[in-house]
């Protein structure tokens, strides 16, 4: 296992986690940015995604590794 884990989540990761299509995943990340008051150039972290979706962070980080 890598010493480093990713902090940022991308639409393709959301596709793998939720099973939704790419466009829906992109839209979900946009909603999360709006929820947290982020600008367009800001990124969504794994922590924020998990908190918003109510998912255990450990399960997501295992899936992304």
Using alpha carbons, list the distances in angstroms from residue 58 to 24, 25, 27. 23, 20, 24
Residue at token pair 């940022």: 8
Task: Tell me the C-alpha distance between 42 and 19, whole Å.
Answer: 24
Q: Is residue 56 part of a domain?
A: yes
Q: Is residue 6 part of a domain?
A: no
Q: Is residue 5 part of a domain?
A: no
Domain residues for 60? 11-64
> Structure pTM?
0.87
Domain count, the chain: 1
Q: Is residue 35 part of a domain?
A: yes
Q: Is residue 55 part of a domain?
A: yes
Percent share of the chain, pLDDT over 70 = 94
Confidence (pLDDT) at 36: 97
Percent share of the chain, pLDDT over 90 = 80
Confidence (pLDDT) at 64: 85
DSSP E strands, 1-65 = none
Computed over every residue of the chain, the mean pLDDT equals 91
Residue at token pair 């367009």: 40
Q: Is residue 4 part of a domain?
A: no
């Amino acid at each position: 296992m890598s010493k480093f884990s990713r902090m940022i989540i991308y639409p393709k990761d959301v596709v793998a986690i939720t099973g939704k299509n790419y466009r829906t995943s992109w839209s979900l990340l946009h909603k999360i940015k709006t929820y947290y008051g982020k600008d367009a150039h800001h990124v969504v972290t794994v922590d924020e995604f998990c908190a918003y979706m109510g998912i255990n962070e450990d399960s997501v980080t295992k899936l992304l590794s």
